[in-house]
Amino acid sequence: MGAHIADALGWPFTSVPPGQRLEFMEQIKFTVAGTAAAPAVNLAKLGVEVGAVGRIGNDTIGDFVRSTMNSYGVNTDNLVVDARRQTSASLLPIRRDGSRPALHVIGANAGLTETDVPWSIVEKAQIFHLGGAFILPGLDGAPMGRVLKRVKELGLTVTMDFLMSPRDDAQRVIGPSLRYVDYLMPNIEEAGWLVGTEDRQEIIEWLHTQGVGHTLLTMGGGGVSVAANGDKETVLPAYDISVVDTTGCGDAFSAGLISGLLDGLDVMGAAERGLACGSLVATGLGSDAGIVDRNQVAKFQQTQARLAA
């Protein structure tokens, strides 16, 4: 449940041409993205039965999001069409090193509320992933906390990733939800903005104090920090890959971790699969790059070299 976005990506981006001059790129691509939609697509690739909950607009971008997700096998019956807002979308000029600025329209994601939760479907699930805290104004804060509290009461495992820029009210917005989160998976930069420090140990300690069951902080080439509440962290080293685009790597990590948990792996084993999935996505352009299926991910884990810890 959460953010559903259509991305328009261009690679490689070097500079904005002056005036109305033309610059050429090697590739432009359109993908389904967002911290709910992208994990859903990758979970379907990994053979997981997954349903999407979110909002799209009554427009061609929304049609693209729904049809593309359907083509991968994601159930989109609970994507609500918002008649007042366009489908959320981003323009992403990708630099040669894989980094990128982002230009974003929040669109229909702003209309998502707790009334959109299909509880008859949720109660049949095993894991509830909330993707997009901080860019879901109709759900952020107390409503999100109420949703996750009820999810936990139904006996589901809760996973969460968020999408944020620095903001003064961040801890107040996310505070009501953290106690219900079993596995929290932000990138280290966003986690630092939330907690107000760049010290990783302070970040982990603060999140654990708020009640988070496990922190999984993705750190790009630094790997992934994994820590159960009250325990010291373990850092899993990154894979040695040629990075094309970092878009969607965190979403792919989420999908890999969730699929691992569903397979009965412990948190370290699930995080290892997540790390492999995130690395594969970084080797291509867009959130849907890299991952083919579970066998391919397993082979990558077995054969791909790792960077030094």
pLDDT at 245 over 90: no
Distance of CA 279 to the CA centre of its chain: 14
pLDDT at 88 over 90: yes
From 75, 74, 136, 130, select the one nearest 110 (Cα to Cα): 136
What token pair was written down for 292?
Answer: 């083919």
Note the pTM of the prediction, 2 decimals: 0.94
What token pair was written down for 92?
Answer: 């992403």
Query: Where are the alpha helices (H) located in 123-248, listed in sequence order?
Result: 142-153, 170-178, 188-195, 200-209
Number of H helices, E strands in the chain: 10, 12
Could you give the C-alpha distances from 279 to 57, 187, 297, in angstroms and in order?
A: 31, 14, 10
Query: Which one is the CATH code of 5-11+28-303: 3.40.50.2020, 3.40.50.12780, 3.40.50.300, 3.40.1190.20?
Result: 3.40.1190.20
What token pair was written down for 248?
Answer: 């969607």
The band of 256, judged by pLDDT with boundaries at 50, 70 and 90, is very high
According to the model, what pLDDT value does residue 99 have? 85
The full set of domain ranges for the chain reads 5-11+28-303
| CB distance 154 to 122 below 8 Å | yes
Enter the DSSP assignment of 232. P
Q: For the segment 23-80, what is each residue's pLDDT rounded down to a tens digit?
A: 999 999 999 999 999 999 999 999 999 999 999 999 999 999 999 999 999 999 999 9
Beta strands in the chain (DSSP E): 5-11, 27-33, 51-57, 75-82, 89-93, 103-105, 127-133, 157-162, 183-184, 214-218, 224-228, 234-236
d(CA 109, CA 103): 15
pLDDT at 309 over 80: no
